[in-house]
Amino acid sequence: MVFSSIPFLFRFLPVFMILYFVAPRRMRNVILFLGSLFFYAWGEPVYVLLMLFSTLSDYLHGRLIGACKSRRVARGLLISSIVINLGLLGFFKYSDFLIGTVNRLLGSSIPLLKLPLPIGISFYTFQTMSYTIDCYRGEAKIQKNILDFGVFVTMFPQLIAGPIVKYRDVQDQLRQRKADIGAISYGCRRFVAGLAKKVLLANNLGLLWTEISGGNLENTTVLGAWLGVLAYAFQIYFDFSGYSDMAIGLGAIMGFHFPENFNYPYMAKSITDFWRRWHISLSGWFREYVYVPLGGNRRGLPRQLLNILIVWMLTGIWHGAGWNFLLWGLWFALWLILEKLVLGRMFKALPSLVGRLYTWLIVLVSWVFFAIENGPGALRYLSVMFGQGTAGLYDSPTLFILLEYRVLLIFAAIAATPLGHRLTESFFAVTGTGVTVVRRVLEKLVPALLLLASIAYIVEASYNPFLYFRF
């Protein structure tokens, strides 16, 4: 898709921002809505109609729920909204997967629909569903202005890959918001940090993963296999967290406060802790709208474990229509259940380093299922990781690759921890005239250098997609 690349974003943003800030405040929602539609329609000219239908459907359901005096009728309207949303998501995302599965099981030859997946449908569907659910619960104001609701659904900074924003978290900002110099400055810095994560770290780490995973596994050493999946782990983190930073930054520039989506997940001490830090908005969505309504932990341990299993099956297939994604979700469900039963108490008595190493091991294995959609291919890669390959532990080409990428991997490892942030805070806490001057210079210089380096990379690179655009 054309707009799924960074270069299009850079062509779109200056024009949009000029129009947005030049326009009177009462017109800014109009500019944001039309700009967001243009942003989406540039790459999805047909599916923008699908997004508009979803917007209109949930707007009307919200109005009807708000006007309804019968709880039973309101519940029926809520069910109607959920069925329409999940029906659209299921049809466009899972129809070919289901048809293919039926064909394999029954030996039939039902033709596949081969529908292109509407970009971001998993994200904006969950956002609009949160609105009607919260309206039914009485936790969100009924939005009577369809333009304001349209802005909520289509808002381009986080439309494509999150973070998933609940309507009640921005309902007041849709009408009244203020972007002062401090917020704009923070938003710009956050945007540049996310951009640098994406183009300077994620893209280059992706080259390493592609080089190793795309080669002949018969010639891949154990070290090479672990190096490859480590590169993918860093790639997907910096790619997705970079997009979230860019979205949060753009939102801040316009006066919106989007939720944080990552909190150093690779510092987690357990899988439970990992999912409190990774894709926080998705985890929170499933907890609030699926896990808790199913009973959460209120109906005894067996029911709680079943609820965990259901939630993680759904989390897996939310990411993609494939058995590998279901297996990925079940893999995490297994370890979350084990932590509830045994491992959680055990790790509390052990040094935190043990918990972090355990978490890294489980997560790295999970990324193999996630990245390699072919089941046999994923199992073959895992077998090489655990010493079942024929190329040995390491060889000269593997050591050469390690040396070639060593600086990038070290920098990525540091950037994935709070160390850099803590050093920055310590420096900014130091007082003194000379330090203050240097600090002010660095505040301007570092983001500028990162922006220039990112732009230089973008000019050279021909393709800059975000990994999570495919979900």
List the catalytic residues.
319
DSSP type of residue 197: I
Token pair of 216 as six digits? 């002949």
- CA gyration radius, the chain: 23
Q: Which amino acid is at 358?
A: Y
3-state helix vs strand vs coil in the chain, percent to 5: 75, 0, 25
Look at residues 167, 120, 159 and name the one whose alpha carbon lies nearest to residue 143. Answer: 167
Displacement of CA 273 from its chain's centroid (Å): 17
Degrees (nearest 5) of the Cα angle 203, 361, 466?
A: 20
Determine the angle formed by the axes of helices 352-371 and 222-253, rounding to 10 degrees. Answer: 90
The DSSP annotation for 278-336 comes to: SSHHHHHHHIIIIITTTTTTSS-HHHHHHHHHHHHHHHHHHH-SSHHHHHHHHHHHHHH
433-460 helix and 181-196 helix, angle to the nearest 10 degrees: 50
Please check whether residue 266 is in contact with residue 233, taking contact to mean a CB–CB distance below 8 angstroms.
yes
Query: What stretch of H or E contains 212?
Result: helix 203-213
> Which two three-digit tokens encode residue 23?
């326009």
**The tokens 């309507």 sit on which residue?**
167
Give yes or no for a contact between 99 and 113, defined as CB atoms under 8 angstroms apart. yes
Intra-chain end-to-end CA distance of the chain, in Å: 14
d(CA 126, CA 455): 33
245 exposure class (CB count in 10 Å sphere: 0-12, 13-18, 19+): buried
What angle (nearest 5°) sits at the alpha carbon of residue 358, between those of residues 353 and 364? 120
Question: CA nearest 145: which of 81, 73, 66?
Answer: 66
